Amino acid sequence: MLTAPARNHLPIIALLTANAISLVGNVLSAIAIPWFVLQTTGSATRTGITGFFTVLPVVLAGLLGGTLIDRFGYKRTSVIADLASGVTTALIPILYFSVGLQFWQLMVLVFLGALLDAPGSTARNALVPELAELAHMPIERATSLIHMIERGARLVGAPLAGLLIAVMGTENVLWLDAASFFISAAIIGVTIRVHVMPSREIQDGKYFDELRAGLQFIARDKLILAIVVMIMLTNFLDTIFGGVLQPVFVKQVYGQALALGLLIGANGGGAVLGALIYSAIGPRLPRHAVFVLCFMLSGLRFLLYTTYPPLWFAILFTVILSMGAGPLNPIINAIEYERIPKNMRGRVGGAITAGAMSAMPLGMLIGGVLTERLGVRPMFLGLGVIFLITTLSMAFIPAMKEMNRKERNPLEQGINAASPTGEP
């Protein structure tokens, strides 16, 4: 008589812990670097350029690095990427305190740090289904926990960043960011034993053939393709807001990095609450309706800033509106894990990330220029209206209604991996 394997929660706890440490470090640098640029140059355009060199490598790494993740294995890629990102991040304060750091040098290091970080994040996410299975955990709950950690990093890291910048200075905060990558690498390397070995198809195939197979998978799966297109549009608007408008607004109205940290932390806190609620009741709710309504709720934060609210009011309503962001990534991740074959998670997941973020570098550049020319209030109003129209349209896209139909992974059904969800 066969017995079910015992539950093992340690691997998924280790993954959540490593993610939390690494993401808190990322939040520290995400606040410290734009604030450093604003302090030293006072230029919204240069702040936008900084954001451009932060996001562009994520798009490139997602598109070109996913196949490498499948080749090297998820655990190994995560460890290597974290170690490399730690070294790159540490070079920023090392150069600043030794020979000096020019703006173009900062852009190079920002580019390299983001380029090396993206494959590690994708690889860790690709480990989730196996680790959730070991813990006997529903995939919706696992993805909600992953997203709670991501948003929780903002809740903890953003106010901490504002406080540390005031106490230590923006340059010194980056030392902590570098250390977070090394700690994350150690946790994944030592604790997690479960990993997916590259299949013979990956080992024997040609790199660009494998890359093309990942893109073809997305093109054939209408639901995933629709999600990528819509997230690309909303990320474009989000990038203008978070990468340029919000820092400029906070510096003009509140005048301190701590206020920026508190607002970003409030965003993370609201999203954590939303993800926590969804992890408890999400499996019983229709995904499509939840996805559309929550997306629209989260977009109201753009309109909030047009009122130039006092800080306490902005923090309170940011928490409330950001609860809508909580279920979004858990729903998307659950759909991906259900529909993407195990041996294609790296290249397909990387291509999805690249597609969803492809408009973000342009958003950084356009956001910086338009903010200087139009001012922050017209920009907030325009972004809010466009975001609401975009998210409402998701209710009427036929392919997105397939969210409500849960699929088993093609490999689990014995279906050819090239045919998403077994459909013709």
Here the tokens at position 388 are 């609401």
If phi > 0 it is left, if psi is from -120 to 50 it is alpha, else beta; for residue 375 that is left
Angle at 59 between CA 187 and CA 146, to 5 degrees: 35
Q: According to the model, what pLDDT value does residue 203 have?
A: 47
Instruction: Give Cα separations from 95 to 33, 37, 71, 181, 327 (angstroms).
Output: 15, 16, 34, 19, 41
Per-residue pLDDT of the chain in tens (424 residues, 90 and over written 9): 444 555 677 777 888 888 888 778 777 777 777 777 777 676 767 777 777 777 777 667 666 666 667 677 778 888 888 888 888 888 888 887 887 777 778 888 888 877 767 777 777 777 777 787 777 777 767 777 777 777 677 677 777 777 777 777 777 778 887 888 888 888 888 887 754 444 444 444 565 666 677 777 878 888 888 888 888 888 888 888 877 788 888 888 887 777 887 888 788 788 888 888 887 777 778 888 889 999 999 888 888 888 888 998 999 988 999 888 888 888 888 888 788 777 776 667 767 777 777 777 777 778 777 887 888 888 889 888 999 999 999 989 888 888 876 655 443 443 333 333 333 2
Q: According to the model, what pLDDT value does residue 66 have?
A: 61
Instruction: Give Cα separations from 424 to 221, 229, 409 (angstroms).
Output: 10, 22, 15
Check residue 421 and report its DSSP letter.
Answer: G
Contacts of 228 (CB under 8 A, 6+ apart): 218, 352, 355, 356
Q: According to the model, what pLDDT value does residue 287 have?
A: 87
Could you give the CA distance from residue 388 to residue 302 in angstroms, rounded to a whole number?
Answer: 10
Could you give the CA distance from residue 40 to residue 96 in angstroms, rounded to a whole number?
Answer: 13
Taken in order of first residue, the domains within the chain and their CATH numbers are 10-407 (1.20.1250.20)
Here the tokens at position 11 are 């691997």
pTM, entire model:
0.62
Torsion of CA 268, 273, 274, 275, to 10 degrees: 80
Could you give the CA distance from residue 192 to residue 275 in angstroms, rounded to a whole number?
Answer: 25
Segments in 98-256 forming alpha helices (H): 103-126, 128-134, 139-168, 170-191, 200-204, 207-220, 222-239, 246-253
Could you give the CA distance from residue 414 to residue 341 in angstroms, rounded to a whole number?
Answer: 10
SS3 sequence, 320-337? HHHHHHCCHHHHHHHHHH
Here the tokens at position 3 are 């017995």
